Amino acid sequence: MTEQKDTDVKQVASTPSEKRAHEPMSVSRRSLFIGVGSTAALLGLGALRYVGHTPVNRPPGGQDEAALVSACIRCERCYEACPRKIIVPATIEDGLLGMRSPQLDFSANYCDFCREENGGVPLCTQVCPTNALQLPADAVLGNPETGERGNVIIGIAKIDEYSCLAFRDTGCRACYDACKYDAIRLEGTDTNPRVYVEADKCNGCGACESVCKSLSAGSIVSGATHRAIIVEPVEAE
């Protein structure tokens, strides 16, 4: 039965002109399917804009979150440009929209706005080809040498008094020693002072977070997932 069908087809379409006559509908239908399907998928992805993502600490010039999301093409140049290797891709846990966009990781180092490495011009903003990282015209950057805070605020440091070693009478004052902007205040004159953040002096450079020992040195707090002092994005406040 099938064989006969096959020969029928062959006979019908034996002359190439007849073969040409019936257009391969499957091709145009496939194109339509791909076109419609892809457009729908891409519009769906676009709608992620309304879902948003968890705020993260952006490199200098990335404080206008909407502008950064609009312009960033995930080219990864800022990661390479950062002399301190603190710019890392945001992860899926922070939301699909922000995935692979630049965020700051203060676990090993902090941002000095390239004061030491590039005379105070952040290399990340300098290389960004799409102006996703772009300092506002009136930007004044923090200067760790003079202690000037500037008006580019990456985030504000926040202390978790529950896991902070200073609050456990250990005498730890690593963050106080690291801060270049006098944004950490010691309270109590005895040998075990408490530490507090002066929010109006902090620009979120991350020096305190980069030296915090709460997770590595003798912390008695179980279940702590992050350091006792962390920089939180301003939007999260």
Partner 1 sequence: MKTKNLRTAIAVGIFVVLAAGLIFGVSFGTLSGFGWDDFSVLCPLGALGTMIATKTMIPRAVVSLVAMILFFVVLGRAFCAWACPVGVFDRIRAFFRSPKKRKEIEQAKHDEMLAISRQELEARGVAVKNAEHADAQCTHSCKTCGGCQPFKHGKLDSRHAVLGGALLSTAIFGFPVFCLVCPVGLTFATVLVVWRLFSAGDMTWSVILIPAFLIVELVLLRKWCTRFCPLAGLMNLFSRFSKTWVPTIDDSKCLETAKESACGRCAMACEADINIRHPEFGERTMADCTRCRACIDACPTKAISMPFLVRAGHKVTLADAEQDVLEGIQGAERRAEAAFSPLDKAGE
Give the binding site for partner 1 (CB under 8 A): 6, 9-10, 13, 16-17, 19-20, 22-24, 26-28, 30-32, 34-36, 38-43, 45-49, 66-67, 69-77, 79-83, 85, 88-89, 91-93, 96-97, 99-100, 105, 107-108, 126-127, 129-132
Residue 89: strand pairing partners: 102
- Closer to partner 1 at the Cβ: 107 or 219? 107
- Closer to partner 1 at the Cβ: 103 or 214? 103
Least distance to partner 1, CB of residue 14, Å: 9
Tokens standing for residue 31:
């194109």
Give yes or no for a contact between 237 and 153, defined as CB atoms under 8 angstroms apart.
no
Least distance to partner 1, CB of residue 159, Å: 24
Least distance to partner 1, CB of residue 63, Å: 16
Q: 201 phi and psi, to 5 degrees?
A: -110, -10
- Closer to partner 1 at the Cβ: 94 or 198? 94
CA 55 from chain centre, in angstroms, equals 8
| Residue 208 half-sphere exposure toward CB, CA atoms < 13 A | 32
CB contact set of 191 (below 8 Å; sequence gap of 6+): 171
Least distance to partner 1, CB of residue 191, Å: 35
- Closer to partner 1 at the Cβ: 127 or 224? 127
CB contact set of 90 (below 8 Å; sequence gap of 6+): 53, 56, 98, 99, 100, 101, 102, 103
- Closer to partner 1 at the Cβ: 91 or 146? 91
Least distance to partner 1, CB of residue 105, Å: 8
In one letter, which amino acid is 88?
A: V
The angle subtended at Cα 86 by Cα 133 and Cα 195, nearest 5°, is 110
